[in-house]
Amino acid sequence: MTKFESILKQITSLKANLFQKDFLLTWDKSQKELELVLYVAEALKYMRDNNISAKCFDSGLGISNFRDNSTRTRFSFASACNLLGLEVQDLDEAKSQIAHGETVRETANMISFMTDIIGIRDDMFLGAGHTYMKEVGEALDEGHSKGVLAQRPGIVNLQCDIDHPTQSMADLLHLKNYFGGLDKLKGKKIAMTWAYSPSYGKPLSVPQGIIGLMTRFGMDVELAYPEGYSLIPDVVDIAKKNAKASGGKFKVSNSMEEAFKNADIVYPKSWAPYSVMQKRTTLLQKGDKDGLKDLEKQCLANNAKFKNWECDEKKMKLTKGGKALYMHCLPADITDVSCKEGEVSAKVFEKYRIETYIEAGYKPYIIASMILTNRFKNSADILKKLYKNGTQRIIV
């Protein structure tokens, strides 16, 4: 049995179905649905690595709606759409009629006449990003049911205020392959820790995505942050429940060193405190520039109290055998490289730099998998046909 056949067998055995289901939060999906995304992503990667075309669309649009800046996720979404045969069209709100008062309901329908998938990034406003995605979904439901839209496009969350599913799923696929299988992750300790940064407004969605997903797979997850840097309480509760259900562990501490002890994986990443993001959202919505400046000044001063929350060689020696895998969603704040003092020392980052690039490289395939499983009832059949056709991506 070839590797590709083995992957298809795994997909078929899951009997999971994500057809016409938006992918907004990992904890809204079943274990089998999460595994389906992973295995379809691996099948797509195998095909590209072996010069086999994965184009399952002859035409169609993938709408890219980034309401915040992005490098990796923006290009990953474009790559995923292109891999499957969709053309990408950016929704630039500044160039649309949204600036003239066009409603979400109207915009959602107007961009969707021949659209298969809509990727949305909206992480700036706490309590708003996930809500916006659901509002778009409801507008699409109405448009389809009333005969405006011939088909209802799927939605992929490319990061919101609550979760970053394409990132955490790419991280999970990286861990699966790094350690040799999902079953090998059970009992592995991952330290999801806050780290110092000279900026203050980083979203909560990455650490929340990690604790919300890795606890599903029986891992020993320790969340660590300085006093006052807590996450959204509801997500922390979800992580606790997930750990209990999977036979894993979930712990919260206020020590980076404690979290690093005997860790198999470390994920040091800065984020703004939940309470600060609440204040920041209110000020942003009011357009209070002076208030935002004052808040930034206060927060940067508070961040500066915890400059010792840096992933350095000394802390890495506390990990299991001193050889834990370092992970980061990128870009990392690297001490003496991208900033004077940051999340990780230059020496540690350079040691794991290529691994973080490999980690990031799974994201296009995760997004492509989310698109394919949303648009087709039987992803295994589609993949089998594409593989059997054997159309070369590059004609040699």
Cβ-Cβ contacts under 8 Å for 253 (sequence gap 6 or more): 222, 223, 224, 259
Q: In whole angstroms, what is the distance from residue 72 CA to residue 190 CA? A: 23
Give the SS3 label for residue 99: helix
pLDDT of 93 reads 81
Residue 286 vs residues 110, 281, 289, 300: alpha-carbon distances, Å? 28, 9, 9, 22
Residue 185 lies in a domain: yes
Range of weakest confidence among 50-54, 118-122, 151-155, 392-396: 392-396
Q: The domain that contains 263 carries what CATH number?
A: 3.40.50.1370
How large is the average pLDDT for residues 74-102? 90
Residues 281 and 313 in one domain: yes
User: What tokens were used for 143?
Assistant: 């448009």
How many helices and strands in the chain, by DSSP H and E? 15, 9
- How many domains does the chain fold into? 2
Kindly state whether residues 75 and 198 are assigned to the same domain. no
Domain assignment of residue 395, yes or no:
no
Residue 85 per-residue DSSP state: T
Domain shared by 336 and 382, yes or no = no
Q: What is the pLDDT of residues 339-357, one digit of tens each?
A: 999 999 999 999 999 999 9
Number of Cα atoms under 13 Å in the Cβ half of residue 203: 25
pLDDT of the residue at 240:
98
* Segment among 72-86, 134-148, 275-289 with least mean pLDDT: 275-289
Whether the CB-CB separation of 239 and 221 falls below 8 Å is answered with: yes
Does residue 172 share a domain with residue 136? no
Note the Cα 115 to chain centre separation in Å.
22
Nearest to residue 120, comparing CAs of 331, 328, 329, 370? 370
Average pLDDT over all residues of the chain: 96
Pick the closest to residue 326 from 341, 309, 343 (CA basis): 343
Span 206-214, average pLDDT: 98
Same domain, 17 and 32: yes
Average pLDDT of 215-237? 97
State the pLDDT confidence band at 94, using cuts at 50, 70 and 90: confident
CA distances from 315 to 305, 309, 320 (A): 18, 10, 11
Percent of the chain with pLDDT over 90: 92
Q: Is residue 394 part of a domain?
A: no
Q: Tell me, yes or no, whether 110 lies in a domain.
A: yes
Instruction: Give me the residue label for tokens 């890219």.
Output: 64
Is 50 found in the same domain as 77? yes
pLDDT band at 96 (very low <50, low <70, confident <90, very high): confident
Q: Is residue 146 part of a domain?
A: yes
State how far Cα 84 lies from the chain centre: 20
pLDDT in tens, 2-58: 999 999 999 999 999 999 999 999 999 999 999 999 999 999 999 999 999 999 999
Do 171 and 316 have their domain in common? Answer: yes
Same domain as 159, residue 77: yes
Q: Kindly state the average pLDDT of the residues 203-230.
A: 97
pLDDT at 124 over 90: no
Q: Are residues 18 and 139 in the same domain?
A: yes
Question: What does the alpha-carbon distance between residue 40 and residue 35 come to, in Å, rounded to a whole number?
Answer: 9
245 shares a domain with 148 = no
Q: pLDDT band at residue 101, thresholds of 50, 70 and 90?
A: confident
Decide if pLDDT at 99 tops 80.
no
Least confident of 196-205, 243-252, 331-340: 196-205
Q: Which domain holds residue 280?
A: 167-360
pLDDT band of 1, cuts 50, 70, 90: confident
Contacts of 56 (CB under 8 A, 6+ apart): 84, 85, 372, 375, 376, 382, 386
Neighbours of 129 (CB within 10 A): 24
Same domain, 135 and 262: no
Residue 396 inside a domain? The answer is no
Question: Within a 10 A sphere around the Cβ of 169, how many other Cβ atoms?
Answer: 26
Residue type, 335: T
Tokens of 346: 């230059």
First CA to last CA distance, the chain: 26
Residue 84 located in a structural domain: yes
Same domain, 353 and 213: yes
**Residue 122 falls within a domain, yes or no?**
yes
pLDDT at 43: 98
